[in-house]
Amino acid sequence: MPVLANADFSVGEFLLWLLWIFLFVIWFWILITIFADLFRDPDVGGFAKVLWTIGLIFFPFLIALIYLIVRGKGMAERQMGAARQAQAETDQYIKSVAGTTSAADQIASAKALLDNGSINQAEFEKLKAKALA
């Protein structure tokens, strides 16, 4: 027989354990978010970062609540700024990889190839027609 079959472990106790595990995960996530925000913020000096860290170690619930109240709005703004910057970098990368150029740029590069003899007039006309299409 399994060991748990004889154990006096009710459904209520199981749900209570699930609740505690859920609260622990939330608490851990809050601490990670606070530390990430604290150490990414260039406006906070090293001494202030040390004080916040020591406070979070010795009085975690109180200091986390104070941090979220005092710096919560700034946390949201910094997070939105980071998201905007990441989106702009992604867009720039996609544009650079896609190689989207205007028709005039394509014709100019084809003309440069024609001028240095890399392609003939028929190939230039074909590239020009493709760029204008």
pLDDT digits (tens, 9 = 90+) for 59-71: 999 999 999 999 9
Q: DSSP secondary-structure letter at 41?
A: -
Rounded CA-CA distance 108/120 in Å is 15
* Amino acid 99: pLDDT: 66
pLDDT in tens, the chain (133 residues): 455 555 567 888 889 999 999 999 999 999 999 999 999 888 889 999 999 999 999 999 999 999 999 998 889 899 999 899 999 999 888 877 776 677 888 888 888 888 988 888 888 899 888 888 7
pTM above 0.85, yes or no: no
